[in-house]
Amino acid sequence: MGLFSQDYTSNTREPILFPEPPKALSTKDLSFLTDMLDWNLLAAKKMRAMSKQCKMPDLKKEFEAAEQMHAKHYDKLLQFMKDNAGGAQS
Angle between helices 57-84 and 27-53 (to 10 degrees): 160
Mean pLDDT by 10 residues, the chain (90 residues): 49 70 77 94 97 97 97 94 67
With left for phi above 0 and alpha for psi between -120 and 50, is residue 33 left, alpha or beta? alpha
Rg (CA), the chain: 19
Measure Cα distances from 24 to 15, 59, 90 in Å. 20, 42, 10
Domain locations in the chain as residue ranges: 29-85
What pLDDT is attached to residue 4?
46
Look up the pTM and report it.
0.69
